[in-house]
Amino acid sequence: MAALEIENVGKILRDGQAVLRDVTCAARDGELLAVVGPSGCGKSTLLRMVAGLESVTSGVIRIGGQTVNELAPQQRDVAMVFQNHALYPHMTVYENLAFGLLVRGTPRANIDLRVRRTAAQLGLEAMLRRYPRELSGGQRQRTALGRAMLRQPAVFLLDEPLSSLDVPLRAELRRELSTLHRSLGTTMVYVTHDQSEALSLGERIVVLAGGRVQQIDTPVQVYHRPANRFVAGFVGWPPMNFLAAESFDDPTRVPAGEGALEYGVRPECFCARPGGADDLPLTGRIERIESQGSEWHLELTHRLGQVLARLRPEEALRVGEQVRLWVKREDLHAFDRASGLRVEL
Amino acid sequence: MSLRTRALQVTTYLGLAILAIATLFPLLWVTSIALMRAPETAAGTPPLWPHHPTLYNVVDIIRRQHLGRYFFNSMVVAAATTALSVLVAGSAGYALARVDFRGRRLVSWLVMLGVLIPNQALVLPLFEMFRAVHLINHYAALVLPAAANPVGIVLVQAYMRGIPAEILDAARIDGASEWRIFRSIVVPLMAPMLAAVGVLIFVVSWNDFMWPMIAMQQEGMQTLPVALAAIDREHYQDIGLMAAGATVTILPMVLVFLASQRYYLRSVIAGSLTD
Ligand SMILES: Nc1ncnc2c1ncn2[C@@H]1O[C@H](COP(=O)(O)OP(=O)(O)O)[C@@H](O)[C@H]1O
Ligand SMILES: [Mg+2]
């Protein structure tokens, strides 16, 4: 067990493409750090650099205080779970789990004990003699997880381990992973392109885009105080609505800051009735109502564009009619139009 | 099963059966002729089936023409060539596909170029080279030039590219040394392709004619096809004897195919590596 520190790390490929620029983040000892960002933003590259599978162009990576930049993957005490499981196809589940201990010269009896214990933890006891091709998607990913866990590494790296699974299975394994992290207490870095996965699993979240860190904070902070427009739009589903002051019925009541601002309102922050005197009204025509059972998704056309609102179902709401919705001042996010940075109102 | 798929199946099997017969018929006929004696083989086209099957021709060609000696030569050369070139193709193919080193693309291109050069074009330079190092009339003259088989290397390289690189990365993270990865992961995964390359190289080596004829001129050092051609020049009227020689020549290849067939089937059934 150890902390992971990534300091000013950059990665430039042979063809000159800069994949990562000046990335600084850290996972505390025992922490589950989620790294989230759109596809191609450099998440896998970052993880592979921590594992030693990619060279570090600039900056420093430390595991447990020791600089590991020049260490081969074999010498870093890390384990990794790959997106496509990467199990050894010619080995049984037992052999897949045992391989890492075997090559490190662990005594056979000890290997057997640990393999069986891990298999039991992951519900794989009955699968030990099967080959990866004879397993379901979930069992394969569990095996990959087991292979990584078994060695009790200092840092546990997971690269979109659930993205190849279907939705119910993904939810199930997500819960298991969370439990597992609590029981193992190992430092984990969990990479995903799925913001909801990052929000539900991460103790802290690193939002990455275009090879740069956009924000590092707890899920609550990232969600409620996004550092810039990108994070605001990327985290949360359905995504935040972006509005101009003129979108509201009375632009003069919209709090202003220095320079031109863009405003953000999360879909669930609209109310059908005013809650206080300060609430800002916004009027629009209902274009579509999508019932989600416990709530409705309303698509409105207002003066300058469209917004999506999540409301409690109300029979009075009808497609084609005008409706006035209310937004609390504290639910209003503001971003500088030029820099995209968050502006406190 | 619908009528259409049924009809398709019947047509497929019919086509395969015709192909199988067209392939097997000459082989079986030659074997059959090898078991015949003078009156049957003397008069024009021999019959399809021997009336009094006998091993006389086989025993005769092995005894009088010392076929055993040439068979031994061919076996040594083909076995050594196969072993050596599977080793080279396996390691070179892996390195070209998955090991990052300077000049990899250039080497890949050169190997590809090697596939395109016809063997006949190499005979003269090879002869000069081997004469210079006094290896003419040695087994090495036949084994060494064949050791780096570009077709084998290209086949292994392509096969290796189909194996996800993450599997090797996983082994690295598991703590395995590069050599251990090659031994415990790469070789077992490449095994079906190595077997296929081995069979291919064995057959090519066994059948090779031009270079062995030139490189092995000393009596008793010839390979089976070369020796057989010499016997043919002397005894071309004796169809039975020639058929016996052909049968003895073909036999090892049939055995190699039969022995490796189970392995191919298993690797096909085993299915893809990635899912
Ligand atoms: N080996 C490579 N060769 C060329 N481009 C690469 C290589 N590895 C990564 N890249 C590039 O680096 C960027 C980041 O890739 P990656 O780390 O896989 O992103 P992510 O995992 O966030 O989807 C992409 O634009 C990709 O094209
Ligand atoms: Mg990735």
**Which domain CATH number covers A303?**
2.40.50.140
Give, as one character, the DSSP assignment of residue B236: T
CB < 8 Å from B in window 109-148 of A: 133, 147
CATH of the domain at A62: 3.40.50.300
B156 CA: distance to closest CA in chain A (Å): 18
Looking at the structure, tell me whether residues A32 and A10 fall in a common domain.
Answer: yes
Distance between CA A136 and CA B239 in Å, rounded? 61
Mean pLDDT computed over A165-182: 92
Q: End of a domain among A182, A212, A234?
A: A234
Residue in the block written with tokens 């504290």:
A330
In percent, the amount of chain A with pLDDT more than 90 equals 92
* DSSP per-residue letters across B1-54: --HHHHHHHHHHHHHHHHHHHHHHHHHHHHHHHHT--HHHHHSSSPPSS-SS--
Closest atom of ligand 1 to CA, residue A208: 22
**Mutation site for B-interface testing, chosen from A14, A50, A76, A82 by largest number of B Cβ within 10 Å:** A82
Chain B nearest C-alpha distance from A87 (Å): 6
Ligand number nearest CA of A37 is 1
**Cα torsion A205, A211, A215, A220: sign:** negative
Nearest C-alpha to atom 14 of ligand 1 is from which residue?
A: A42
> Which of A86, A89, A104 is nearest residue B175 as measured by Cβ atoms?
A104
- B176 vs A: CB within 8 A: yes
Tell me which residue in A86, A104, A151 faces B169 most closely, judged by beta carbons: A86
Dihedral of alpha carbons B247, B253, B259, B260, sign: negative
d(CA A293, CA B58): 87
Q: A300 and A154, same structural domain?
A: no
Answer whether CATH 2.60.40.420 is correct for domain B55-273: no
The closest CB to that of B166, out of A79, A82, A151, belongs to A82
Last residue of a domain, one of A189, A211, A234: A234
- Burial class of residue A87 (count of CB atoms within 10 Å of its CB; 0-12, 13-18, 19+): buried
Interface residue B179 vs chain A (CB under 8 A): no
Write the DSSP symbol of residue A306: E
Average pLDDT along chain A = 95
Q: Name the band, by pLDDT with cuts 50, 70 and 90, for residue A195.
A: very high
A214 lines ligand 1 (CB under 6 A): no
pLDDT digits (tens, 9 = 90+) for A238-261: 999 999 999 999 999 999 988 899
Domain identity same for A254 and A228: no
pLDDT of res. B48: 83
Do A184 and A283 lie in a common domain? no
- What is the residue extent of each domain of chain B? 1-54, 55-273
User: What is the span of the domain harbouring residue A274?
Assistant: 241-343
Residue B80: which of B155, B127, B146, B137 has the closest Cα?
B146
Distance between CA B230 and CA B234 in Å, rounded?
A: 7
Whole-angstrom distance, CA of residue A118 vs CA of residue A180: 11
Tokens of A190: 């969990």
Are A106 and A249 within one domain?
A: no
Per the CB < 8 A criterion, the answer to whether B157 and B108 are in contact is yes
Is the CB of A74 inside 8 Å of chain B's CB atoms?
yes
Segment A43-89, tens digit of pLDDT: 999 999 999 999 999 999 999 999 999 999 999 999 999 999 999 99
Residue B4 has a pLDDT of 86
| pLDDT value of residue B264 | 63
* Spatial contact of B224 and B71, defined as CB atoms under 8 Å apart: yes
**A334: closest CA among A259, A277, A274?**
A259
Residues A250 and A225 in one domain: no
Number of domains in chain A: 2
* Residues A193 and A331 occupy one common structural domain: no
Q: Six-digit token pair at B249? A: 């020549």
Q: Which ligand is nearest to the CA of A164?
A: 2
Average pLDDT for A291-308: 93
Please state, in angstroms and as integers, the Cα–Cα distance from residue A339 to each residue in A23, A227, A335, B66, following that order: 19, 11, 8, 91
DSSP label at residue B107: H
Q: What are phi and psi of A35, to 5 degrees?
A: -110, 120
CA distance B114 to chain A (A): 29
A82 and B CB contact within 8 Å:
yes
Tell me which chain B residue has its CA closest to the CA of residue A53.
B169
Is residue B152 within 8 Å of B195, Cβ to Cβ?
A: no
Q: Of A201, A234, A267, at which residue does a domain stop?
A: A234
- Ligand 1 pocket, residue A13 CB under 6 Å: yes
Of A161-165, A318-322, B233-237, the one with minimum mean pLDDT is B233-237
Q: How far is the CA of A17 from the centre of ligand 1 (A)?
A: 10
Largest CA distance in chain A: 76
Question: If pLDDT is split at 50, 70 and 90, which confidence band does A1 have?
Answer: low
Residues A314, A318: Cα–Cα separation, whole Å:
9
Q: Ligand 1 centroid vs A188 CA: distance in angstroms?
A: 22
* pLDDT of B272: 41
Q: What is each CA distance from B76 to B3, B205, B228, B229, in whole angstroms?
A: 54, 11, 17, 19
Does the CB of A15 have a partner CB in chain B at under 8 Å?
A: no
Task: Confirm if B206 and A108 have CB atoms less than 8 A apart.
Answer: no
Angstrom distance (rounded) from CA A57 to CA A34: 23
Amino acid letter at B85? Answer: S
Of A19, A157, A208, the residue with max ligand 1 atoms within 8 A of its CB, to mutate for a pocket test, comes to: A19
List residues bridging with A63 in a β-sheet.
Answer: A4, A66
Residues of B in contact with A78 (CB under 8 A): 173
Do A10 and A150 lie in a common domain?
yes
Is A179 found in the same domain as A61? yes
Per the CB < 8 Å rule, is B169 touching A104?
no
| Minimum-distance CB partner of B172 among A73, A87, A133 | A73
pLDDT of residue B274: 41
Encode chain B (275 residues) as per-residue pLDDT tens digits.
688 889 999 999 999 999 999 999 999 999 989 888 877 777 778 888 888 888 888 888 888 888 889 999 999 999 999 999 999 999 999 999 999 899 999 999 999 999 998 888 999 999 999 999 999 999 999 999 999 999 999 999 999 999 999 999 999 999 999 999 999 999 999 998 898 899 889 999 999 999 999 999 898 999 999 999 988 888 877 888 888 999 989 888 888 888 877 766 655 555 444 44
Q: Is B173 on the interface with A (CB under 8 A)?
A: yes
C-alpha–C-alpha distance, residues B119 and B272, integer Å: 35
> A209 and A281 in one domain?
no
Residues A308 and A220 in one domain: no
- A21 CB under 6 A from ligand 1? no
In which element (H, E) is residue A189 found?
Answer: strand A187-192
Kindly state whether residues A178 and A258 are assigned to the same domain: no
User: How many whole angstroms separate alpha carbon A191 and alpha carbon A213?
Assistant: 14
A40 CA from centroid of ligand 1 (Å): 6
Strand order in the sheet with A241-243: A241-243, A261-265, A333-336
- Averaged pLDDT, A305-318: 92
